Amino acid sequence: MQENFSLKPFNTFGVEAKAKYFIEVNSVDELIETLKHAHSQTLPLLFLGGGSNILLTKDFDGLAIKLNLKGISEKALNENEVLVTAKAGENWHEFVMSCLNKNYGGLENLSLIPGNVGTSPMQNVGAYGTEIKDIFVDCKVLNLETLEIETFNLEKCRFGYRDSIFKQKGKGKYVILEVSFKLTSKIHSIKTEYGAIKSELENLGITNPTIQDISKAVINIRQSKLPDPKEIGNAGSFFKNPTIPLAHFENLKEQFPNIQGYPNENFVKVPAGWLIEQCGWKGKQIGNVASHKLQSLVIINATGNATGKEIFDFSTLIIDSVKEKFGIELDREVNIL
């Protein structure tokens, strides 16, 4: 266990914050031993995956635990389905690639999302028309109070849009140890409808795409429009796309005829990026922080010297201006600490 430990290398915003204590654990037994110690000292806990969805606004007066649980296993379920289980510390994109190399389908639209497998259920990671709930079977978690291992199936996880029980009722109560997915091994379902996948496949000259082609197209699109955290500190989309009542949307449509929306019964999901852009934030920089020039939903540590507090304050200014112009309250997707 190390003391007064810099978390700068452990968050993709690249902001400085110190943890009072820090430890890396490589097995569930090590984790349990560590938690027993933390309980005896009543230390607050912070679990670290890839650090790609957290904003550290201050030093952490507790124990930060880096989860290095590794390993991937699989079991054939039938002629066309395989159950693949990955431990929490596996890198998400490497896991996706290892499945694609075996021609297992279901994860291809989720290529190149930063972070670890163990964090994927936290916000039901999603991209390009797929969310993990579409292929999720269950996850094993450690109950932080009882230190017993429990299994959470799809229903128990209560997945929603960038949401799960782990961000709601179960927040701070469990640590995810491993996640199991049901993937196809022969006949795959190809999803090309969302975003620019079709046009990117056309660019690549592909008419009959495989799951590997979909992954390639998604990687190309992501690399062309999202900043690489290794080069510019960021945590991807900072805000969720808000869902507003249909009547509110119709009102806005009269004032802003170009507003886009995706209706669902009496509600409409509105792209947060468009709202932010309309408020003049795209590419705008204040001090060390900016909204990305290609994707206004992404807040960046523009100079590399931003503090978490500066980034948080910048996000508050965006929330306030969207609220003032459209009467819509944006929710932060990133976990604030």
Cα separation, 93 vs 247, whole angstroms: 40
**Residue 126: CB minimum distance to ligand FAD, A:** 5
Contact segment (CB under 6 A) with ligand FAD among 55-63, 117-125, 286-294, 318-326 equals 117-125
**Residue 169: CB minimum distance to ligand FAD, A:** 14
| CB-based contact 175:31 (threshold 8 Å) | yes
Q: Does 229 bind ligand FAD (CB under 6 A)?
A: yes
* CB half-sphere exposure, 100, CA atoms < 13 A: 19
Chain positions 187 to 206 lying near ligand FAD, rule: CB under 6 A, are none
| CB-based contact 129:94 (threshold 8 Å) | no
333 is known as an active-site residue: yes
| Radius of gyration of the CA atoms of the chain, in A | 21
CA distances from 260 to 2, 160, 249, 268 (A): 50, 21, 9, 9
Chain positions 49 to 78 lying near ligand FAD, rule: CB under 6 A, are 49-54, 67
Which of 74, 108, 200, 333 is the catalytic position? 333
DSSP assignment of 245-274: EHHHHHHHHHH-TT---EEETTEEE--HHH
Chain positions 119 to 138 lying near ligand FAD, rule: CB under 6 A, are 119-120, 122-123, 125-127
Contact segment (CB under 6 A) with ligand FAD among 25-33, 76-84, 114-122, 279-287 equals 114-122
**Residue 142: CB minimum distance to ligand FAD, A:** 9
Which of 111, 131, 162, 315 is the catalytic position? 162
Cα separation, 103 vs 100, whole angstroms: 5
Q: Does 335 bind ligand FAD (CB under 6 A)?
A: yes
Q: Does 234 bind ligand FAD (CB under 6 A)?
A: yes
Q: Does 14 bind ligand FAD (CB under 6 A)?
A: no
Q: Does 12 bind ligand FAD (CB under 6 A)?
A: yes
Q: Does 226 bind ligand FAD (CB under 6 A)?
A: yes
**Residue 67: CB minimum distance to ligand FAD, A:** 5
| CB-based contact 142:177 (threshold 8 Å) | yes
193 is known as an active-site residue: no
**Residue 282: CB minimum distance to ligand FAD, A:** 17
CA distances from 157 to 30, 106, 145, 331 (A): 26, 19, 18, 21
Cα separation, 247 vs 243, whole angstroms: 12
With respect to ligand FAD, which residue has the nearer C-beta, 120 or 288?
A: 120
DSSP assignment of 132-169: GGGTEEEEEEEETTT--EEEEEHHHHT-BTTB-GGGTT
Contact segment (CB under 6 A) with ligand FAD among 32-40, 184-192, 194-202, 228-236 equals 228-236
DSSP assignment of 192-232: --STTHHHHHHHTT-SS--HHHHHHHHHHHHHHHS--TTTS
Which of 52, 180, 185, 237 is the catalytic position? 237
With respect to ligand FAD, which residue has the nearer C-beta, 132 or 201?
A: 132
Identify the sign of the CA torsion 197, 198, 204, 208. positive
Residues in contact with ligand FAD, shown as a per-residue x/- string from 273 to 312 under the rule CB under 6 A:
----------------------------------------
185 is known as an active-site residue: no
**Residue 14: CB minimum distance to ligand FAD, A:** 11
- The residues that are catalytic are 162, 237, 333
Contacts with ligand FAD by CB under 6 A lie at: 12, 46-54, 67, 88, 113-116, 118-120, 122-123, 125-127, 175-176, 226, 229, 234-236, 335
